[in-house]
């Protein structure tokens, strides 16, 4: 009589699966499963991003004016006009671009350095640091309309609290914070830094908490002081975070609209009328949507170029 060797349970299960038992067949994802998960995002992206972008570019190729019975096709004429010497729309557009450039140059360095210093302080262990983190981040939660109305009240030359306190300190002359140069730029940049530095600080703080403490211990063993630790450990480890913050800050500053619109209305003499503000005036107030769309795409192209150069520069420096 031949002895029968018992088959272990796992082997029997595998044999059953290989035999094609439908009850034990492993679940295989369908080919369309990833697309099903992506479909909601793709639908939102196409509806609210891609389709409006394509439609806006199509409008920029037409003399799209709500006062005209038809919107004739003009090709690249709206773009060419922006580079035509003597054209009023070109002159005003590049003046608004100059105002945008001034704001970017003044605000970006402050929004890079001040939040980094603040994050370094808030990364230390001390009593109440959670409270201070919330306090510095709180202004960022407010909308631009609230920020504009608040600082319009505080910076009013005649009734504002800022000039009121300065008068009590002995300053007789009232500073025209919102009506004269260079004080309008001081106001716009100062308000923007106060409003948005909390966000950059939180991003920096997240990066600092990801730095390996062993690197600081090794630096201390080598005799490095706080400054050398910052230069040789903190900054290199924060390089990706710095790249992100710098890119986002440049884009946000170049798209500044609400502060200038609510605080200065582009004054004095359109000196603080930024590119976004002028585009809104041309497209939404003057109803010349074709020219406004062309300006928008030119501004977007310049911002893409600046972001790409910034990314390449920091990557090369990292190597």
Residue 72 placed within a domain: no
| C-alpha span between 101 and 23 (Å, rounded) | 68
Per-residue pLDDT of the chain in tens (319 residues, 90 and over written 9):
455 555 454 544 444 444 445 555 556 667 788 888 899 999 999 999 999 999 999 999 999 887 778 889 999 999 999 999 989 999 999 999 999 999 999 999 999 999 999 999 999 888 888 999 999 999 999 999 999 999 999 999 999 999 999 999 988 889 999 999 999 999 999 999 999 999 999 999 999 999 988 898 898 888 888 899 999 999 999 998 999 999 999 999 999 999 999 999 999 999 999 999 999 999 999 999 999 999 999 999 999 998 888 888 777 766 6
Write the CATH number for 255.
Answer: 1.10.3720.10
What is the span of the domain harbouring residue 196? 92-318
* Residue 77, CA atoms < 13 Å, CB-side half-sphere: 10
In this structure, is residue 27 part of a structural domain?
no
Distance CA 99, CA 107 (A): 12
Is 85 a domain residue?
Answer: no
Q: Tell me whether residue 243 is in a domain.
A: yes
At 129, list the tokens: 């640091």
Q: What are phi and psi of 73, to 5 degrees?
A: -75, 130
In a domain, residue 15? The reply is no
Domain contains 306: yes
Tell whether 49 is covered by a domain. Answer: no
Rounded CA separation 290/81 (Å): 12
Q: How far apart are CA 192 and CA 148, in angstroms?
A: 10
**Tokens (6 digits) for 144:** 């631009």
Structure tokens at 288: 């010349």
DSSP-based three-state secondary structure for 3: coil
Q: How many domains does the chain have?
A: 1
Which residue in this structure is represented by tokens 């500073």? 175
- Contact predicate 78/297, CB 8 Å: no
Q: Does residue 203 lie in a domain region?
A: yes
> What is d(CA 67, CA 32) in angstroms, rounded to the nearest whole number?
48
């Amino acid at each position: 009589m031949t002895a029968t060797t018992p088959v272990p349970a796992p082997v029997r299960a595998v044999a059953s699966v290989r035999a094609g038992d439908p009850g034990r067949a492993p679940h295989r994802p369908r080919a369309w499963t990833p697309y099903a998960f992506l479909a909601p995002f793709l639908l939102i992206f196409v509806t609210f991003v891609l389709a409006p972008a394509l439609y806006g570019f199509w409008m920029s190729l037409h003399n799209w004016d709500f006062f005209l019975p038809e919107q004739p096709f003009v090709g690249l004429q709206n773009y060419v006009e922006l580079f035509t010497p003597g054209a009023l729309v070109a002159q005003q557009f590049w003046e608004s671009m100059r105002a945008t450039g001034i704001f970017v140059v003044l605000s970006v360095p402050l929004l890079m350095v001040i939040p980094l210093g603040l994050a370094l302080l808030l990364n230390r262990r001390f009593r109440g640091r959670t409270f201070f983190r919330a306090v510095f981040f709180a202004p960022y939660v407010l909308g631009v309309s609230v920020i504009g109305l608040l600082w319009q009240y505080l910076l009013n030359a005649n009734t504002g609290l800022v000039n009121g306190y300065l008068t009590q300190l002995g300053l007789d002359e009232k500073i025209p914070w919102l009506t004269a140069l260079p004080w309008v730029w001081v106001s716009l940049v100062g308000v923007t830094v106060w409003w948005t530095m909390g966000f950059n600080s939180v991003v920096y703080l997240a990066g600092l908490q990801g730095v390996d403490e062993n690197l600081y211990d090794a630096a201390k063993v080598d005799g490095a002081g706080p400054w050398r630790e910052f230069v040789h450990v903190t900054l290199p480890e924060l390089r990706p975070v710095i790249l992100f913050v710098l890119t986002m800050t440049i884009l946000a500053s170049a798209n500044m609209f609400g502060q200038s619109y609510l605080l200065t209305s582009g004054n004095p003499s359109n000196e603080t009328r930024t590119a976004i503000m002028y585009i809104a005036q041309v497209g939404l107030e003057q109803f010349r949507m074709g020219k406004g769309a062309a300006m928008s795409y030119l501004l977007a192209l310049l911002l893409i170029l600046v972001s790409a150069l910034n990314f390449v520069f920091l990557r090369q420096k990292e190597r």
